[in-house]
Structure 1
Amino acid sequence: MPTIKLSGIHGILLDMDGVIYRGDRLLDGVAAFLDGLSLPYLFITNNSSRTPEQVAQKLTGMGIRANPDHILTSSIATAQFLRHEAPEGTPVYAIGEIGLNAALQNAGFVLTSEAPHYVVVGLDYEFDNAKLSTASRLIQQGAAFIATNMDRVLATEDGEHPGTGSIVQQVIDASGHHPLVMGKPERRIFEMAAARLGLSLENLLMVGDNLDTDILGAKQAGMPNVLVMTGVTSAEMLAIAPIGADYVIPALPQLAELLGS
């Protein structure tokens, strides 16, 4: 197996769903790999449903040492981006779970359906026609349309479930407008991750399970990348994919060999 030159890699970005765990099941060998990892790393996920505190609690419960500062979600990236664009107190209509709502409120936004400046759409387990109608109407009235990510499916331990992208597509169809997307594969979330680690993009290794988000995003950002086969990408999908990863490994623990450690 080829070895990535450690002189060029100073940190690692790790996707979560399909890389660290699947649903509520920690993938084999992950905890031991992270314990032995000498490079700084950051968890980066498009899943907008949980707060960093909730994600850290989940990881801790699985035996992985983590704190909220180690976690960058698409909700946090969205709130951080909007905070640079709009002042505190700006009204926002949000479709999402606590992860998105808390991120926006903590950034100083007011969640409301009354004349919002933004409509922000994330993963929402209770998404319904009423929310779809409200979002569509507000966007057509001039609210800016923001999506946390466009992941079509979400990998869980019992298979794939509809992801944020499935919800966003309904809003696109209903409103006739396309969103500004925050999460992977968009460059801005990788830049936020690099800034948090104090590193440049070319010195970060992206490890993920999704060719369309993790790998495509890393390539567009000029980052070396590794695809793991424990998530949404099957061997059949990889064989016909229009893009390929720099390296492909069965699971995260094999990264130790790839890094030569």
Structure 2
Amino acid sequence: MKAYQAYLIDLDGTLYKGNEAISGAKAFIDYLNTENIPHLYVTNNSTKSPDDVVQKLKSMGINAKPQEVVTSAMATADYIATEKPDASVYMVGASGLETALKEAGLQLKSDTDVDFVVMGLDEQITYEKLTIATLAVQKGATFISTNKDPSIPKEQGFLPGNGSLTSVVTVSSKTDPIFIGKPETPIMKKALDLLQVNPTDVAMIGDLYETDILSGINVGIDTIHVQTGVTSEQEAMTKPMPPTYSVRDLTVLKQQLEKGE
């Protein structure tokens, strides 16, 4: 396996499942830190801030820094700020998205007279929120969604994800949103810009083909599939565009990188 100069790393299904670290995750990140190999954690979760992500990783013994975290909320805020600085936004989402939008200098409003409607996962979703979002899009606001994930894994099972909530406004407004998170390119381009490493020397590591692996393929970088989450090795490697590599877990990946295999 090629030893890359930098890595983009998924979280859920790759480093942890729920609140439990996946075997080998800590050792792999320790290896990257010891060898001073740049890496970023790339997540579609818009509800958490980088500090929240770091605290969760640290609770599992994984040493991370806020500046190593790229969330779909951050990428969404950057996208809007680039399109129109000081834009007005109606937001459906949680604190992680709210913080990112405010830090980007965007103006949050509670009515339909806005430049953008942004939807992120909101576990306190209401009919009123969906109504305002729908009417704002119908009036001409640009429709943005942090990610198209149809479901999210919870203790009870797979629950409605942001893609499912977004679809309500999509159908009601007859308008398709611009998606920012994996597997779309905006979040990956932000991560690559932060790394400042030639893309040919960067690999994306993740478990889910439809988000993690495709996100790497869509920006033209190599991909490493880990068999610790949703997508099986057989399913991943028989896709029309398979990942560059598939490994059992991060323990095997670390061993291969150390041996130069």
Q: State TM-score, norm by structure 1.
A: 0.91
Q: For residues 24-58 of structure 1, give each alpha carbon's deviation from its aligned partner in whole angstroms, at most 9, with x where no partner exists.
A: 11111211121122221110001111011111111
Residues 158 and 205 from structure 1, CA distance in 2 versus in 1: closer, same or farther, beyond 3 angstroms? Answer: farther
**How far is 1:240 from its partner?**
6.4
The 3-state SS of whatever aligns with 1:135 is helix
Q: Which residue of 2 aligns with 1:18?
A: 13
Instruction: Name structure 1 gaps, 5 residues minimum.
Output: none
Tell me the number of residue pairs that the alignment of Structure 1 and Structure 2 aligns. Answer: 255
The 3-state SS of whatever aligns with 1:206 is strand
Percent sequence identity is 38
Amino acid in the other structure paired with 2:226: V
Give the Cα separation in 2 of the matches to 1:235 and 1:247.
Answer: 10
CA contact (8 A) 1:190 1:201 kept: no
Q: State TM-score, norm by structure 2.
A: 0.91
Counting only pairs closer than 5 Å after superposition, residues 1-261 of structure 1 correspond to structure 2 as 3-4=1-2, 6=3, 9-37=4-32, 38=35, 39-88=37-86, 90-114=87-111, 115-156=113-154, 159-234=157-232, 237-238=235-236, 241-261=239-259
**How far is 1:187 from its partner?**
1.8
Instruction: Name structure 2 gaps, 5 residues minimum.
Output: none
CA contact (8 A) 2:233 2:246 kept: no
Give the Cα separation in 2 of the matches to 1:113 and 1:207.
Answer: 38
**How far is 1:18 from its partner?**
0.9
Q: For residues 89-109 of structure 1, give each alpha carbon's deviation from its aligned partner in whole angstroms, at most 9, with x where no partner exists.
A: x21011111110110011111
Amino acid in the other structure paired with 2:25: V
* Stretches (4+) displaced over 3 A: 155-159, 234-243
Root-mean-square deviation over aligned CA pairs: 1.8
Q: For residues 55-97 of structure 1, give each alpha carbon's deviation from its aligned partner in whole angstroms, at most 9, with x where no partner exists.
A: 1111112111112101000000011111111122x21011111
Give the Cα separation in 1 of the matches to 2:10 and 2:157.
Answer: 18
CA contact (8 A) 1:22 1:156 kept: no
Residues 224 and 247 from structure 1, CA distance in 2 versus in 1: closer, same or farther, beyond 3 angstroms? Answer: same
Residues 137 and 45 from structure 1, CA distance in 2 versus in 1: closer, same or farther, beyond 3 angstroms? Answer: same
